[in-house]
Structure 1
Amino acid sequence: MIQALSVLAVSLLTHFSPSMVGLSAVVAGAVVLWVGRQLLRQEREIDEAGRRSDVIFEQLSEGVVLIDHVRNLATMNKAAARILGVSGPAVAHSELRRGYEVLSSEGRPLPESEWPSSLAAKGRYVRSLELQLIRKSHGDVRYVEVSSSPIHNHKGVSTSTLLTYRDITEARRAALARERLASIVDSSDDAIIGKDVDGIVTSWNRGAEKVFGYSAEEMLGRSIRILIPEGLVSEEDDILSRIRSGETVEHMETERRRKDGSLIQVSATISPIRDSFGNIIGASKIARDITERRRLERQLRQSRKLEALGQLTGGVAHDFNNLLGIILGNLELLGEMLEGNEAALGRVRSVERAAGRGASLARRMLAFSSREELSPARATLSDLVNSTLELATRALGPEIDIIPSLDETTPPVFVDSAALQNALLNLLVNARDAMPKGGSITITTHVAHLDDAYPPVVAGELKAGSYACLSVSDTGHGMSAEVLEHVFEPFFTTKSRDKGTGLGLAMVYGFARQSGGTVRIYSEPGYGTTVSLYLPLSDDDAQAYPQLEDSSDDIVIGNGVALVVDDESDLLEVAVSYLRALGYSAVGVSGPAQALEMLTRQKVDLVITDIIMPGGMNGVELIEKLRQMQCDIRVVYCSGFPADALAERRMLHLDGPLLHKPYQRREFIAAIRKVRAQSPSAEMRAPLL
């Protein structure tokens, strides 16, 4: 640079006259010195800028790679070496290409012709393409965003390729973890709900849709109070207050209202949600529908209560029998001693008759407690029923119609014949007493297949399998739900004191349990009662009879909208669950009025309706009205009364299968299959009964 400045100075001096050479030399020297200083400063600045560029290049968090025109690796920064897992720019580009498997963000293998570097070499620009890089030697997976661009010279010819890599592995894994968590939350059968501190719903999973009946679109942005029955509104205020104070509400059992208006029992845990600063911004709620569990618990408590009562009653009856034995024995001896004293003997005979009634009472108490000695043997159920009716028909009176409907194909049972006839007589007398103005008693027999989900099986009263079922249905006044809770308890009766001891049904219950079966009762106030005895088949016949099989082959894949109408909330939930599992969009309502209202808003393909419901309209009448609104509805009817008993109530026009309550899943599927095979046309509606 100094030599260049000297040449410049000489050149300047040659342009001046000799007289001015001296002055010019001074000026030229100053100019040269100034220019030199400027050039030196610019050179230092350029060097400093280069060093800063190198520092920035190396400190970039994004990886930068430069590939020359022959696809050799010209340079890369530290971030690129770290992301690509190599020691530095000394590695050959060909080695990099061979060392990696490149996949798209969806996991599709990418051929080298589709790599960003290859596309840039063809003059194409790539922006933020998400890729998976798998090191073949280690199996290490990196998620990266790659951009590439060709670099052109002043003639527009591509001379090299610039690649930038942004490592998004952690972000991608975090996103995948969130997606997995969201999938787990969404697939949970429990309702998982988010809400803010004012109770406004912010998240709503599919489990919440199943439990409460509302879709996410219907609930997001609305108050959670829509689920709370009127009498429990203050409960939510207390929950939100506890959440705001940082408290977690654990395993709270309460009642909530579904979209269809039915009430369900839920167990809920509500926890506060905090932001990154620790401030409470809302709450997460996990709610589980425990309606079915509560029902099974009630049944189990009832079963255990009856078992405890049986033990107590059996102990009392046993001691009472011993006392009566002493009393009767001494009365017999006293009678011999008072021979000839008619007045005294009359009193002895009166006491003997009372003691005899006490002994009969003790035997019935022992029957309830399952301590009466039975002698079970193989017997034909229809023969036992017919022989009992021969004795009972006259005693029941002419105002009572007896209607037997016996399935002669029912295999023999293994029971004490006398005890069974006694139990049947008790049921007939109870039925007669429930119809003081006359009526009809329907007696049916059939084989029932009970699976693991049947309530008595769940409660441990029975084992799953095939049983003979004997049902006695009357057209009497029926019983309320409160009375049904106590009907099998000894000495419980709704009769006047001179008309019963309250041991009739208790004896029937004890006989059934001691025989290895059970008893179920269904009643509707104003319509009557059905009592069903489930009795074991004899061993040989039980083995020969077709056993229960998996019903998976019978599953019907449904479609369309199904409506369930039932005033029993437990069965309503069961039917809705069955239908949704079959593929239907199912809605449950608790009465005919809600069913009619729904049909004004939506077309329905299938209706499952209870026949006897409160409110002045039964299921048959409901279907007649629904068919006036939509004639092509397929129908399945449900009732706790057998078909023959319903016929006696003049409910003859059932244009669909009849499910007997409480039904099981296999029976439900069979009814759906049957009704789907029928034509929905109004012309095809023939009476079932």
Structure 2
Amino acid sequence: MRKISDVQRERPVVSSNSMRLVEVAANAVYDYDVAADTFYYSEGMEKTFGHNWIGPQPAMVLWVDLLHPDERAGVEAAFLRFLAGRDRYARLEYRFKRADGTWAHVRERMIVLRDDEGRAIKVIGGIEDITAEHDTQERLHHSQKMEAIGRLTGGVAHDFNNLLTVIIGSAGLMEAEADLSPAQRDLIRNVGLAARRGAELTSGLLSFARQQPLTPATLNMAAVFAEMDALLRRTLPAFITLDTAQAADLWLVEADPTQLNTALLNLCVNAADAMPEGGRIRLECRNWAQGAPGGGQDDPDMPQGDYLRLDITDTGHGMSPEVLARAFDPFFTTKPMGKGSGLGLSMVWGFAKQSGGHATIASQVGIGTTVTMFLPRSPKATAEVEPAARAEMVQGQGQHVLVVEDDRMVRKLVVALVQRLRYRVSEAENGDEALEILRKTPDIDLLFTDMVMPGRMSGTELAERALQEFPRLLVLFTSGYSENAIIHDGRLDEGVQFLAKPYQLRDLGEKLRAVFAAR
């Protein structure tokens, strides 16, 4: 009887024609002679992965050494179990190092030839580079995860903003009282300060959830950088060096100036925290034509078009791949307890996406991190100038305001705020009651209504019905988060007036004045 080894020596290696047939379904093909313990690889191994493995290769040494360290033991064990088992087919997925040092996600399919006793004689396999497919699935998974977290955080922020409106507004009214002792006034100020910090957290949540109402303006980034440069030099520690660089002929950008400044400040503070022993922060800005010949590289997560690209680079300790993968997740932070909320980067991501742009992070341990924001180019020819803030409190002139709010605590507080601003006030709990008051009180000048109310009529439906009967009525909406009924892609619909919760007395005064001035 002939030995298996004799059969093996006489059995030809899989022909080149067979190799080509298998390569239809794989980038690289191999023929493993079990008895000789040698591998033969097709030319696809070099074409796809850069490894020039011509001729017989000893055992599995080359392949095993190029498996990702986190997966090496498991993949090798799975291959050996397949050889020792009874299955004819097997499939593995793992990370495999290319010749240039990068990692490919691969799918390996194998078929084994066995003798009469079931022992493996030969394995023919194909290795397919599925990196693009894997990355697409990862982006989809990440998008779905961010969307789900966004819905959750948006709902939480809405509920908290109602509570914070009451706390902030009540503290403001109490602080304005003349007969408070210094100790009482300090306590009330602390209440207001703590509530405003809570409002910053909910604002970060809404930014991440892309439900933060934006007021986009046409901005000149050279002017924004000049303003930020002065602010950052006062804010950052002395051991941090700040550099700014701007390309010539920058396009104008379309973005909310307050949210943009907040995003840049957050990024620079984060960068400084990553350099406790000192380092350098560099802010760069340049034009970016996504998808255009000679322009920016294609990014499947960013539509083609013209953007302004902002790079914020630090020379800090950098992020590991595991940390980098979660960097935009809300509440994820590597800072010690109490040193950070974990909302800074998630807010930046949400702001960029809601503005019609994109955000990315590149980092390397021991070298540093670059956060990049892409903001859409403005179609306008000139930048807008923000009006100067008023020092004095804006007061009304006795105009009549109807406040519609289903939450009793919020309603009572808003009524008190509007009265303090010297307006006459009526109040309603729901849309039906509001319409009834409007019909009985013809001198009402402005409807100030919450967006979300229980019952059959929302704030927008109330406004539509009220304007049908009273076309000269002014309308101001409010809510704890962005409502799709009046806000699309983060922007208020044309002609809509909106005040986001929570707000202070001064915020309400400014907004009411602006609505009356726009009549």
Q: For the residues of structure 1 that align with 2:228 and 2:101, how far apart are their CA atoms?
A: 47
| 1:223 matched residue in structure 2 | 59
User: Is residue 208–residue 214 contact of structure 1 (8 Å, CA) maintained in 2?
Assistant: yes
User: Can you list the C-alpha shifts for 1:18-68, whole angstroms capped at 9, x where unaligned?
Assistant: xxxxxxxxxxxxxxxxxxxxxxxxxxxxxxxxxxxxxxxxxxxxxxxxxxx
Q: For the residues of structure 1 that align with 2:327 and 2:182, how far apart are their CA atoms?
A: 45
| 1:433 matched residue in structure 2 | 273
What aligned pairs does 1:178-577 form with structure 2 within 5 A after superposition? 183-185=20-22, 190-198=27-35, 200-201=37-38, 203-215=40-52, 217-218=54-55, 220=56, 222-229=58-65, 231=73, 232-242=75-85, 245-249=86-90, 251-256=91-96, 264-273=104-113, 281-331=121-171, 347-451=187-291, 457-458=299-300, 461-539=301-379
What displacement does 1:181 show? 5.7
User: Is residue 225–residue 236 contact of structure 1 (8 Å, CA) maintained in 2?
Assistant: no
What displacement does 1:466 show? 3.5
User: Is residue 227–residue 257 contact of structure 1 (8 Å, CA) maintained in 2?
Assistant: no
- Aligned with 1:217: secondary structure? coil
Q: For the residues of structure 1 that align with 2:175 and 2:96, how far apart are their CA atoms?
A: 70
- Compared CA separation, residues 257 and 511, structure 1 to 2 (3 A): closer
* Counterpart residue identity of residue 322, structure 2: E
- Compared CA separation, residues 486 and 463, structure 1 to 2 (3 A): same
User: Can you list the C-alpha shifts for 1:632-684, whole angstroms capped at 9, x where unaligned?
Assistant: xxxxxxxxxxxxxxxxxxxxxxxxxxxxxxxxxxxxxxxxxxxxxxxxxxxxx
Bigger relative contact order (CA 8 A; separation at least 6): 2
- Compared CA separation, residues 496 and 456, structure 1 to 2 (3 A): farther
What displacement does 1:433 show? 2.6
What displacement does 1:336 show? 8.7
Q: For the residues of structure 1 that align with 2:162 and 2:249, how far apart are their CA atoms?
A: 45
Q: For the residues of structure 2 that align with 1:444 and 1:335, how far apart are their CA atoms?
A: 43
What displacement does 1:273 show? 3.8
- Compared CA separation, residues 286 and 531, structure 1 to 2 (3 A): same
User: Is residue 473–residue 530 contact of structure 1 (8 Å, CA) maintained in 2?
Assistant: yes
What displacement does 1:502 show? 2.4
Q: For the residues of structure 1 that align with 2:35 and 2:265, how far apart are their CA atoms?
A: 63
Q: Name structure 2 gaps, 5 residues minimum.
A: 1-14, 66-71, 382-519
Q: Percent identity?
A: 35
Across the aligned residues of Structure 1 and Structure 2, the Cα RMSD in angstroms comes to 3.7
Q: For the residues of structure 1 that align with 2:325 and 2:178, how far apart are their CA atoms?
A: 51
- Compared CA separation, residues 477 and 346, structure 1 to 2 (3 A): same
User: Is residue 198–residue 240 contact of structure 1 (8 Å, CA) maintained in 2?
Assistant: no
What displacement does 1:443 show? 1.4
What displacement does 1:227 show? 0.8
- Aligned with 1:404: secondary structure? strand
- Aligned with 1:228: secondary structure? helix
User: Is residue 274–residue 281 contact of structure 1 (8 Å, CA) maintained in 2?
Assistant: yes
TM-score w.r.t. structure 1 length? 0.46
User: Can you list the C-alpha shifts for 1:424-447, whole angstroms capped at 9, x where unaligned?
Assistant: 122222223333343322111112
Q: For the residues of structure 2 that align with 1:386 and 1:535, how far apart are their CA atoms?
A: 18
Q: For the residues of structure 1 that align with 2:36 and 2:99, how far apart are their CA atoms?
A: 18
User: Is residue 290–residue 298 contact of structure 2 (8 Å, CA) maintained in 1?
Assistant: no
* Counterpart residue identity of residue 236, structure 1: F
Q: For the residues of structure 2 that align with 1:281 and 1:259, how far apart are their CA atoms?
A: 30
User: Is residue 39–residue 59 contact of structure 2 (8 Å, CA) maintained in 1?
Assistant: no
User: Is residue 26–residue 126 contact of structure 2 (8 Å, CA) maintained in 1?
Assistant: no
User: Is residue 106–residue 128 contact of structure 2 (8 Å, CA) maintained in 1?
Assistant: yes
- Compared CA separation, residues 234 and 432, structure 1 to 2 (3 A): closer
User: Is residue 469–residue 533 contact of structure 1 (8 Å, CA) maintained in 2?
Assistant: yes
User: Can you list the C-alpha shifts for 1:362-406, whole angstroms capped at 9, x where unaligned?
Assistant: 222212221111111322222211222123222224433322110
TM-score w.r.t. structure 2 length? 0.59
User: Is residue 228–residue 257 contact of structure 1 (8 Å, CA) maintained in 2?
Assistant: no
Q: For the residues of structure 1 that align with 2:16 and 2:323, how far apart are their CA atoms?
A: 52
User: Greater share of helix residues, 1 or 2?
Assistant: 1
Q: For the residues of structure 2 that align with 1:198 and 1:255, how far apart are their CA atoms?
A: 27
> Which structure would you say has the larger Rg?
1
User: Is residue 35–residue 121 contact of structure 2 (8 Å, CA) maintained in 1?
Assistant: no
